[in-house]
Structures are given as structure tokens and as C-alpha cells.
Amino acid sequence: KSARWDLKDNESKHLPIYQHKPKLIQAVKNSTFLVVTGETGSGKTTQLPQYLHEAGFCKNGKIGITQPRRVAAITVAQRVAEEMQYTLGREVGYQIRFDDCTSQDTVVKYMTDGCLLREILADPGLSQYSVVILDEVHERSLNTDILLGLLKKIFSNSPKASKSRSFPLKVVVMSATLETDKLSAFLSNCPVFTIPGRTFPVTCTFGSAVGPKDTESTSYIKEVVNMALAVHTSEMAGDILVFLTGQSEIERACDLLFEKAESIDYRYDVQDQTVEGLLILPLYGSMPTDQQRQIFQPPPPGIRKCVVATNIAATSLTVNGVKYIIDSGFVKQLNHNSRVGMDILEVVPISKSEAQQRAGRAGRTSAGKCFRIYTKEFWEKCMPEYTVPEIQRTSLTAVILTLKCLGVHDVIRFPYLDSPEERFILEALKQLYQFDAIDRRGNVTQLGELMVEFPLHPGLTRAVLKATSLGCKDLLLPVAAMLSVENIFIRPGHPDKQKEAEKKHRVLAAKSGGTNDFATLLTVFQSCKSSDRPSEWCKENWIHWRALKSAISVETQLRDILLRLQQNRDIPKETFDGKKSEVFRRCLCTGYFTNVARRSVGKVFCTMDGHGSMVHIHPSSSLFDQEAGLNWVIFHDVLVTSRMYIRTVCPIRYEWVKDLLPKLHEVDVYELSSVARQ
Ligand code: ADP
Ligand code: MG
């Protein structure tokens, strides 16, 4: 064996989990369900699958490990492939939506929880797997919660569950220390394996920068930067981990930090220890994986590392060497907004338990310090005790359709670890009915069966299917792909550059008529794809090349899925004689009739979904400042800041949605609910 292998091997032998290897393997063998718990960083995610592989669990089938976060699935698979000295994508691989890096040989497969949910749809017995590990269960992501309920339902009475299985499935549920009794009770009182771990004390201090009145302000970016610099210039050696909210905030903080760190005078030593520089590293979900890997590497001697991260660094990824935490007190969270009737990404205060988890990251290898920029009063008045599980705060439309397709008719009495409010389930049923995915009796329609195969929001799927029927899927597929990736328009922070970027974006919008943001997306996609040097084209036009590249790949995959569906199922043909721009917008209407707004006065629009919310067109839209000429519009999503803004907007004619709008009010939810209760 090579020297490199020995090094890695030794490293993993120091992890707390290592001493428990034989007992753990035995525990997995002993029962169908097993809960494994241990401090973040103890080695659960990277080591347990390797132990099971070594113990021969891959003879009959694969080991599948789910992660709520895409990035975690990728980086961990990379790490494990490296440790096992395999090429990523062969024996060890990963699969996330739109990115499958596995092969026939893959036996250890990391994947997002959404991917495993899809696999259950195709094969409820999971016959290809010998072990399924649900990881990061304490995060309580929607899909992981649903998987828990499904695996309990399918396998708790019969570990072989289906005829397609010749041997029993093992289900391991892994969680940081929280709620293990509850998990065990949920899974028929299954055994709990606790990996004892040593943690060191972390001293927490409250700040004065963010108080109860500041829940809406964004001053926390500046504050964490100041705090990081204060720590850097006054505390002993040791790396810093800053918790912020999202990509743009992190990029801004890194720019600010970089600017300020440049002017530090290093002629003195910090408390007798030489710290001569600051290595600033961002960490968020959508950044390129090779950049993400940097955060795991130790900094050069004398240099302090400062990682500015989203919540991803709280439990999914462990950065070694961290001694100082700077906690902004905020997180970006997807919440269902019943006022608007849809899911909205919001910046909200974290929970107290989340704050404790963040602080704990400083005490893995020695005593640490956590600097909270918020006041004690903010902690007491604004931060809830625990984070509400996603299932209780986001739209259930897609998962309810999945459950229905799996034959779970009574979606209200499904075994949920924590039940969502009944009205959320009803709202999901109503939306499925509106999109024609289920009928009045709550049964899945043909369209619903097509929809569940498509990894997009039901509305967008419906628009794509309509376009397919009308023979113009080339118009809709790129748009669907563009809406599935992160924002593609670059918005530079510098005012001059911002003007330049906006000018370029206006030119692109004008190319597609200048009055339809969906058409602009199509134009950008086509122009870039047909360009000889697409990356340069993007640079010139202030477009994120990386995002566009993934949109191109997503479009190809959606196209493949659609072709496969067309072969197996009947997608009805329709004809339309009208202008191309009209057919495009009409297809959009079939998916977005739930997002229709009508101009009331001046620049104010009123949504037609029964909520009657007052909304404004977002400045990023090409229709901004053209409101006077508009009457009816559809929009992709809503951004709530001081106002409610609609983004990605397209003008329509009332006649196009006239027949669809009544569907929003036609069905009495109780009619659907009585079906759900049957
Ligand atoms: P757990 O799942 O119990 O939180 P992990 O298995 O994720 O623990 O992590 C165990 C150790 O492996 C940690 O010290 C972590 O820093 C290290 N590690 C994980 N991924 C990587 C990577 N890509 N590169 C270097 N070290 C890593
Ligand atoms: Mg883990």
C-alpha cells in the first residue's frame, strides 16, 4: 500500500467512531432499523459506509447514504472515494438531481434524499440495496422525513417487503445527538447506538450589534466582518468559522474582509503567536466543488483560515482546526407563506438549539470561543427554542403527489415523525387538483403520473407537457432548465460595473422583445449555446457561465426524460394556430395560472389566487417601469423584503387564463379532504 493510503488510514483511525467499528457492524446486522448518533465530526458519514463495505454488506446490494444537501453528497463521496482509493464514480459515487456520478460498479452511493425518494417510486422494495442510511436526520428536511415514514411503513413488519427482494434490507438512521429517543420510538423502539465523543468547552459571548428591532436589517454582514477582524487581530492562533445566510451575503462579507484585512499591520505578534495573514474562504451550496475542497486543507504556517459559510458548516461538513465561531444569528430558510400561498426564501433568526450547534463547532479539538453578534435580548425574544421541521413550514405539493403515486391514499394519516398541519396537506391536495394531477376523488390522473416523473415543480411540468403536446417543447425546456439553476444574471457590487451589467442585460431582454422575462431566459440560453465561445459570451454579457453550463446540461436531461416518457406513455397531440410568441405565453399560462396578477393602480398589482396580495414588479424585470402599459401578468416567484416583489414576469391576456382561473376557487377543500380521510 502506498504512503498516502497509510496517512489517510491513520487519520481516520483517530476519529471517535473507529473504536466502535466491530460493535457497530454487529448492531447493523442485528436489527432492521438502527439509530446511530454521535457528535458532528465523529466520523458517521464518512466512516460507517466504509465499515459496512469492509464487512461484506455490498455482496448482495448497494449501500445508499442520503444527504439533505447536495454539496454534502458530492464532497463526502469525493472524500470517501479518496480514502478507499477508488475513482469517484466507480465503486464510490454520488447522485443528485441532474447530476449522476455513479456506474454499474457503484456499491457505495451517496445521494440526496430526493433521489432516494425517486428510486422508491420506481422500486418500492429498493431491491438494489442491502443497506440504506438516512443521514443528517436531525436536519429534518422534508424529503428525509417522508423517507423515514415510508421506510417505516414498507419495512417495519417485513424486512424483505417485496417479492423483488431476496434478502432483508437494513435501515440505519443517523443523527447528531438530538431527538434519538423520539426516532427510536418512531421506528418500533429500535436500538440506538451512541458514539461517545469528547467535546471541549466553548465560551459564548453576546454582542451589541443586533437586537430585537433588527430582525429585518442586513447590518449583520458588516458586523460579522468587524467581529472577524477583531478576533483575527486579538486572539491566539486558530481558525475562524463565520456563519452567514447565503451566497450573495457571503460574497459581500468576503470582499469586505479582504479589503480590510489587507490594511492590517502585522509587525506585532498576536498574543506572542505569529499570525501573519488571513486566508478568506467562502463556503456555500452552489459553489464549484474544487473550491469547496480548499476549506478542508490546513492553512500555510502563520496564516489564519477564515471560512465564511452558510449553515452547511453547522452539521453536514466539518472544518477541522476551527477555534473561533462568529455567529450572525440568521439563516436563510424556505417557508410557506400562507399570506401569499407559496414558499418564500426568507432570512430569519436561527433557533437556540441551532445557535448551540454552531457554537459547538469551535470545541472539537480544544477549548474554543463563540462570538455572537446579537444581544442577550435578541436571544431571548427573537430566537425560538427549536427549528421547525421543514415538513411543517413548506409546500407539500410534490411529496403528496409522490405519496399518492406510491399508493398512499390517506395522506393525512401517513406515519409522519411530526405531522404537518392539516391545512398544509389540504392546500397541497388543492394545488394538485388545480394542476389536474389528481381528480376530485383524490386519485392520481394520467397527467399526475407524468408529473411525478419530472423533477420540476408541477406547474412548470404542466407548462412543459403542454408545450410538448403543441409541438413546441424547444421553447419551454430551456426556460424550465434556466429556472432550475441558480440565478444566471451577474449583479456586481461595484456601482459602475453594475450599470454596465444592467445595460448588457437590457440588450438581451430587448432581443427577445423586451417585455417577457421568460423569453429573455430563452434568448440567453439560445444565444449562449449557439455561440462559438460560450464562456466568453457569458463574460461579455455578465452572465454566470457556471450556472448557464448547468442549465444546458439540465435541459438535455429534461429532454431525455421527456423522450423516455413519450415512448412509454401517451402525451396527447394538440394543434394551435397563432403566433409563436403567443403559443409560448399560453403554455406558460397552463402552469402559472396560480401566479396571475392584475394591475390595480399605478405600479401595484393584485394577485388573483384568492389571497389578493398587493405586489410590485421587481427592478430586475424588464417590465419594471413599464407597468402603466400592463394589465394582466404571470410571474415565477415572489421576493419579500420591505415590499412583496414578483420576479420573472410575463404579460398575458385575460382570455388565456379565463377558463383556468375558476379552477382556483372551484373545489371545496373539504371535498378533497373527505377523500383523503377515507
Ligand atoms: P460526522 O458525519 O460524524 O459529522 P464526518 O464523517 O463528516 O463526521 O467527518 C469525519 C472527519 O472527516 C472530520 O474530521 C472531517 O473534517 C473529515 N472530512 C470530511 N470530509 C472531508 C474532506 N472532503 N476532506 C478532508 N477531510 C474531510
Ligand atoms: Mg455527517
- The structure's pTM equals 0.85
Give the separation between CA 343 and CA 423, rounded to whole angstroms. Answer: 15
How far the first Cα of the chain sits from its last, in Å, is 62
Residues 479 and 464: beta-carbon distance below 8 Å: no
What does pLDDT average to over the chain?
89
Which of 245-259, 419-433, 527-541 is the most confident on average? 527-541
Q: Indicate the angle between helix axes 422-434 and 397-405, nearest 10 degrees.
A: 80
Residue with cell 398544509: 424
Cα–Cα distances in Å, from 315 out to 138, 160, 278, 460?
9, 33, 24, 33
Q: Tell me, what's the pLDDT at 45?
A: 96
- Which atom of ligand 1 lies nearest, measured to the CA of 297? 25
Contacts of 431 (CB under 8 A, 6+ apart): 395, 397, 458, 594
**Angle value at C-alpha 41, between 35 and 46, nearest 5 degrees:** 70
Most confident of 282-296, 335-349, 537-551: 537-551
Residue 271 pLDDT > 70: no
What gap in Å lies between CA 675 and CA 356, rounded to an integer? 43
- CB of 38 closer than 6 angstroms to any ligand 1 atom: yes
Mean pLDDT lowest for which of 267-276, 279-288, 645-654?
A: 267-276
Q: Give the type of residue at 472.
A: C
Considering only 127-131, 265-269, 420-424, which range has the smallest mean pLDDT? 265-269
What average pLDDT does the segment 568-588 reach? 84
- 241: nearest Cα among 269, 282, 208: 282
Phi-psi domain of 372 (left: phi exceeds 0; alpha: psi -120 through 50; beta: other): beta
When pLDDT is averaged across residues 393-408 and rounded to a whole number, the result is 91
Distance CA 402, CA 452 (A): 6
CA 541, CA 522: separation in Å to the nearest integer? 15
The Cα 239–Cα 369 span in angstroms is 11
Query: ipTM value of the model?
Result: 0.98
Nearest ligand by distance to the CA of 139: 2
How far is residue 386's CA from residue 337's CA, in Å, rounded to a whole number?
19
Residue 390 CB: number of other CB atoms within 10 A?
Answer: 21
Residue nearest to atom 6 of ligand 1 (CA): 43
pLDDT digits (tens, 9 = 90+) for 316-365: 888 889 999 999 999 998 887 766 666 777 889 999 999 999 999 999 88
Give the number of the ligand closest to the Cα of residue 316: 2
Decide whether any atom of ligand 1 lies within 6 Å of the 42 Cβ. yes
Residue 171 has pLDDT above 80, yes or no: yes
Q: Is the dihedral of CA 653, 654, 658, 663 positive or negative?
A: positive
Taking the CA of 80 as reference, the closest ligand is: 1
Quick one: average pLDDT of 74-99? 94
Residue 318 Cβ contacting ligand 1 at under 6 Å: yes
Distance CA 87, CA 94 (A): 12
Residue 5, pLDDT above cutoff 50: no
Say whether pLDDT at 530 is over 90: yes
User: From ligand 1's centre to the CA of 666, what distance in Å?
Assistant: 52
Rounded to whole angstroms, the Cα distance separating 206 from 200 reads: 19
**What pLDDT is stored for residue 290 in this prediction?**
76
Output the residue whose Cα is nearest ligand 1's atom 22: 79
Ligand 1 pocket, residue 43 CB under 6 Å? yes
pLDDT at position 674: 57
pLDDT above 50 for 442 = yes
Instruction: State if residue 75 touches ligand 1 by the CB under 6 angstroms criterion.
Output: yes
pLDDT for the residue 268: 57
Which pLDDT value is given to residue 7?
A: 47
Ligand 1 binding pocket includes 365 (Cβ within 6 Å): no
Helix (H) or strand (E) holding 192: strand 192-195
What distance in Å separates the CA atoms of residue 341 and residue 548, rounded to the nearest whole number? 30
- Would you say 227 and 371 are in contact if contact means Cβ atoms under 8 Å apart? yes
Look at ligand 1, atom 13, and give the residue with the nearest C-alpha.
41
Q: Confirm or reject: Cβ of 15 under 6 Å from ligand 1.
A: yes
Residues 6+ apart with CB under 8 A from 122: none
- 565 Cα–ligand 1 center, Å: 40
Quote the CA–CA distance of 618 and 599 in Å, as a whole number.
14
Note the pLDDT tens digit of each residue in 446-489: 889 989 888 888 889 999 999 999 999 999 999 999 998 878 89
Cα angle for residues 38, 40, 42 (degrees, 5° grid): 65
Stretch 233-237: mean pLDDT, rounded? Answer: 90
- DSSP string for 379-434: HHHH--SSPPPGGGTS--HHHHHHHHHTT---SSSS--SSPPPHHHHHHHHHHHHH
Q: Write down the pLDDT at residue 485.
A: 84
Residue 134 CA, chain-centre distance (Å), reads 16
pLDDT digits (tens, 9 = 90+) for 357-388: 999 999 988 899 999 999 999 999 999 999 99
What is the tens place of the pLDDT at every residue in 492-509? 777 888 899 999 999 999
Q: Whose CA is nearest to atom 10 of ligand 1?
A: 43
With contact defined as beta carbons under 8 Å apart, do 298 and 217 qualify?
no
Q: What tens digit of pLDDT does each residue of 53-67 get? A: 999 999 989 999 999
Q: Which of these, 279, 281, 274, lies nearest to 237 by C-alpha position?
A: 274
On whether the CB atoms of residues 617 and 624 are closer than 8 A, the answer is: yes
Burial of residue 511 (CB within 10 Å: 0-12, 13-18, 19+) is middle
The residues pairing with 36 across neighbouring beta strands, listed in sequence order, are 174, 193
> How remote is the CA of residue 74 from the centroid of ligand 1, in Å?
13
Report the distance separating Cα 406 and Cα 401, nearest Å.
9
The rounded distance, in Å, linking the Cα atoms of 184 and 383 is 28
Greater confidence (113 vs 642) lies with 113
- Judged by DSSP in three states, 259 sits in helix
At 267, is the pLDDT very low, low, confident or very high (cuts 50, 70, 90)?
low
Instruction: Give the pLDDT confidence score for residue 440 in this predicted structure.
Output: 87
Task: Name the residue at shortest CA distance from atom 24 of ligand 1.
Answer: 296
C-alpha to C-alpha distance for 586 and 488, rounded to whole angstroms: 24
Q: Give CA–CA dist 152/157, Å, rounded.
A: 8
Say yes or no: CB of residue 360 within 6 Å of ligand 1.
no
| Nearest ligand for residue 317 CA | 1
Question: Would you say the CB of residue 515 lies under 6 angstroms from ligand 1?
Answer: no
Q: Max alpha carbon distance in the chain (Å)?
A: 80
Nearest CA to ligand 1 atom 15: 318
Q: Is the dihedral of CA 447, 449, 450, 455 positive or negative?
A: positive
- Ligand 1 atom closest to Cα of residue 75: 23
3-state secondary structure of 483: helix
Most informative mutation of 51, 135, 138, 318 for ligand 1 (most atoms within 8 A of CB)? 318
More confident residue, 660 or 143: 143
pLDDT, mean of residues 7-25: 84
Q: Which residues contact 183 (CB under 8 A, 6 or more apart)?
A: 35, 137, 173, 175, 192, 417
Instruction: Answer yes or no: is pLDDT of 4 > 50.
Output: no
pLDDT at 673: 61
Query: Distance from the CA of 41 to the center of ligand 2, in angstroms?
Result: 7
Mean pLDDT of 221-229: 94
